[in-house]
Structure 1
């Protein structure tokens, strides 16, 4: 799914209105109906809605939703700024329709402090939409702050009020904190970054049938990794294949006391389908690796630390988990990179070693994939003010170095050398545990060995990793799930993928 800017969303609306054709008020009605149907289906344990409407089109959505929910039998109170009743044209149409319904109470924002937000009340935020250009002030700021203090369930329409869609807000900005955001047609970029995305709650993208012709013909460098993207990447395993068909992976890492990391990466490479899987580790990890991952073949890289990395042709290397940064290991990695030309995956301590010397960066083979978390990224490329700036820097470095950067975060970003960004929306906070990144390294290495392109391996890899984590969280909880549980759920993710792929044939 493409991520559009506010300007392109506006153009999509206009194109749909002109070419469907449909009036702007009818398009608003369509959007409101989608919201009302979702709310009706998911909020049946509540009987009352307090709907807060601004003066623009987002407020118009709120008026229409309030009317529709009332007709479905809910108690509705609508709050507006009675000191300023100048609405946008479409909002005015829906405001007049609402006023004609005697059963809906119209209240002023100033009444909020005396209002009874009982346990059956859901708050609906329709104050500001995507056109907001400055931080909320005055009565709007006060209303948002009061609503944020309430424990009632909160739903934002299209975007949490006070949030900018395409950029980061000021540090002290007032933003409505939603439990759910019902957004129209597209993810907004701000939903996908931690500084702003924390205000959205669960994002539900509602299809309001904007012109597919416009969407297909309008370019974007930003994408969300959704089911459609994965369907176009995933390849069904062929019946007449053999182990050589699905490539050879060598997972390089481990050091005394850190054998668990390389074991996790190795097991995930096996589970992700690598045809032949080797683990190159120090001899101190031999018994535990052979015992816990007998399907992988062991290669001795040293005694307690790796001091040599054997070069083999037609092989994909994933280097870094538990590697350590000892001098002998640094020397072995640098020597290997000086002679290795094929794309590989670099993670964890491999990246920490590379960050020691700017000249090491130039040794990374073109089209390689690096998978830093924010601190590793900072060591490599320098400090940034926020995740928006970090992404911009990552785009610059991916282009300059000709590599793919998998920037790990709540919504991990895959940045390509051409400047495209793929945001991953699978996964959960249960992955915030040591070892989760090692699993991702093994998965991506395995996929690259199976002849997925570098972009496909990175995009499918982060999606698989997150999806398996979602399955693990459902089974064990985010708190209790372990990295090994994520590895074990990869099989269920592949079963699901294969089922969908064969159904479509």
Structure 2
């Protein structure tokens, strides 16, 4: 698990490392700069011209140190240090002095007027203007520099965070005044802002660089945000006993499908069966019975009293988990049946798709869901439950409020799907790819969650593991078929290999 700290806490980690390693701050900066220079030199050869933009603070100090290290390796480096107020941070000042001792660097200290350099498509710009400590939008001359860099054809590498981007909330930021990096080299830990869709144009690809911040401090310091890793999920996967039987792995009920939407129930059912459930029953209208029995012969079916849709709540006492929503439709009797089902159910529920849309009209019912229930909305479905959101940060904030007030777990789907617990804890999921942006992918996820809950995994583990394996199966499918050509069915087909990778800790 990679912890994600607010930027103010990252400063505290720096300070703790300096005090307790112990190490001088200038030496910690040198260590970070060596990691940065190494990452850069692994991507670009010495024939590449570099133009470095350094600010007056420690981000600028990093940039000056990187300039020196690259020049010592034979790179052509042009440096612009912006010192418009005549004050540099102590470590930035030290690195300015060290840089002066290296020959062959084209160095410019900007105190008043800035004559911008020519930047071509062959150039790599290193952005070291401002780091993660920024708390207001860039303006004036620095905003002009950012706009100049963004208008150039050069490749841009940001040190730690693109200048102008704040580490968490950018609701009131000025987008035109944020560096648009192609690569962000983040020091030690990711920033929350990296995981939000609207920040991708600024962050680009991001890479974590280990700069040796105190592992003890990282372990001890609490945060509500983390990025799941493969070993986290492999370590909590339950081994199967030699004498286990189908009854050992739970009974699941899936309420899904309507006329013209049998595919949703098929995809969810197949995913559930490919994720280790012992027994699965699918509650469907009669019109879908032949399709489901043929497409998913391993599942049993239970027929609704209505021929074309879900219209009557069913008994759930014999099941360990209930999934509801894929392909249900939004008819009035389906709406009434959903509310009856929630009121009568004591078993944890996974609520998805049309069931979420119907709940948007009856928000009080979210709090009536059984303990350990999981909602799996995409952003638009979430907004029907919590109201309009300006951006991902507000969406996450409102989703956390909903999880806490209703006592439910939420898988907020998207790139870096986030699993939110009632406690406010959030785990971002690293697996998955744009090829999964296709109809039916969410139904597959519902099936995986349903299987894990039925097998006795707690809601937090079931949600995190389902999101991880669902994305991992999608990554396997993407390698096999490409992002354009893959379907939700391909994700199901690749689930067994994804599970084996966890089982064998591959």
Q: TM-score, normalised by structure 2?
A: 0.93
For residues 258 and 294 of structure 1, what CA distance do their matches in structure 2 show? Answer: 18
1:30, 1:470 → 2: CA distance?
Answer: 34
Counterpart CA distance in 1 for 2:266 and 2:148 is 50
- Aligned-partner Cα distance in 1 for 2:274–2:352: 19
After TM superposition, the structure 1 = structure 2 runs for residues 26-37 of structure 1, keeping only pairs within 5 Å, are: 26-37=27-38
In 2, are the aligned partners of 1:370 and 1:406 still within 8 Å (CA)?
A: yes
Work out whether 1:279 is the aligned partner of 2:295.
no
Identify which range, 164-173 or 213-222, moves more after superposition. 164-173
Alpha carbons of structure 1 residues 232 and 398: separation in structure 2 relative to 1, 3 Å: same
2:299 paired with 1:306: no
Question: What's the CA shift for 1:295?
Answer: 1.9
Distance 1:11 1:279, change over 3 A: same
Provide the rounded CA distance (Å) in 1 between the counterparts of 2:321 and 2:173: 43
Distance in 2, matches of 1:419 and 1:289, equals 38
Structure 1, unmatched stretches of 5+, are: none
1:70 aligned onto 2:71: yes
Matched, 1:478 2:479: no
Distance across 1 between alignment mates of 2:104 and 2:121: 19
Match of 1:203, SS? strand
Q: Secondary structure at the match of 1:130?
A: coil
- The residue number in structure 1 matching 2:145 is 143
Q: 1:227 aligns with which of 201, 222, 230?
A: 230
Deviations 1:298-341 (A, max 9, x none): 22123111123432323311110001111222222222221111
Are 1:112 and 1:143, in contact at CA under 8 Å, matched by a contact in 2? no
TM-score in terms of structure 1 length: 0.94
Shift of 1:41: 1.9
Match of 2:161 in 1: 159
User: How do 1:45-124 residues align onto structure 2 when only pairs under 5 Å count?
Assistant: 47-81=48-82, 83-107=84-108, 113-119=116-122, 121-124=123-126
- Choose from 247, 257, 261 the match for 1:258: 261
Whether the 8 Å CA contact 1:366–1:401 is kept in 2: the answer is no
2:56 touches 2:92 (CA, 8 Å); kept in 1? yes
Taking the aligned partners of 1:381 and 1:452, their CA distance within structure 2 comes to 28
Secondary structure at 2:50 match in 1:
strand
Mean CA deviation greater in 454-463 or 66-75: 66-75
**What is residue 11 of structure 2 aligned with on the other side?**
10
107, 131, 134: which one aligns with 1:132: 134
Whether the aligned pair in 1 keeps the contact of 2:234 and 2:503 (CA below 8 Å) is no
Matches within 5 A, 1:370-381: 370-381=375-386
Answering whether residue 335 of structure 2 is matched by residue 333 of structure 1, we say: no
CA apart distance, 1:6: 1.5
CA contact (8 A) 2:50 2:76 kept: yes
Q: Which moved more, 1:105-114 or 1:370-379?
A: 105-114
Equivalent residue of 1:500, what SS? Answer: coil
Mapped to 2, the partners of 1:470 and 1:217 lie a distance apart of 33
Counterparts in 2 of 1:44 and 1:375: CA distance versus 1, 3 Å: same
Report if the CA contact (8 A) 2:137-2:174 is conserved.
Answer: no
User: Partner of 1:176: helix, strand, or coil?
Assistant: coil
> Following the alignment from structure 2 to structure 1, what is the Cα–Cα distance between the partners of residues 490 and 153?
34
CA RMSD across the alignment: 2.0
Contact 1:46 1:122 in 2 (8 A): no
* Aligned-pair CA distance for 1:255: 0.6
On the 8 A contact 2:60/2:128 being kept in 1, the answer is: yes
What corresponds to 2:186 in structure 1? 183
CA deviations on 1:346-402 (whole Å, 9 max, x unpaired) are: 001111122222443343112210111122112122223332222222222211211
Query: Counterparts of 1:237 and 1:319 in 2: how far apart (Å)?
Result: 27
Q: Partner of 1:345 in structure 2?
A: 350
Query: Do the aligned partners of 1:169 and 1:196 also contact (CA within 8 Å) in 2?
Result: no
Report the count of equivalent residues: 500
* 1:139, distance to aligned residue in structure 2 (A): 2.3
Q: Distance in 2 between matches of 1:401 and 1:433?
A: 30
Q: Distance in 2 between matches of 1:10 and 1:393?
A: 27
Unmatched tracts of structure 2, length 5 or more: none
Maintained 8 Å contact 1:156/1:182:
yes
Q: Return the alpha-carbon distance in structure 1 between the equivalents of residues 108 and 278 of structure 2.
A: 66
> Structure 1 residues 397 and 83 mapped into 2: Cα distance closer, same or farther (>3 Å)?
closer
Distance 1:491 1:108 in 2: 59
Paired residue secondary structure (1:125): strand
The corresponding residue for 2:299 is 296
State the alpha-carbon separation in 1 of the partners of residues 204 and 321 from structure 2: 39
The correspondence for 2:450, drawn from 445, 450, 466, is 445
Question: Does the CA-based 8 Å contact 1:78-1:105 persist in structure 2?
Answer: yes
Residue deviations 1:131-184, cap 9 Å, x none?
A: 112211222211211221233322111111101112224253311111221111
Separation in 1, partners of 2:419, 2:280: 25
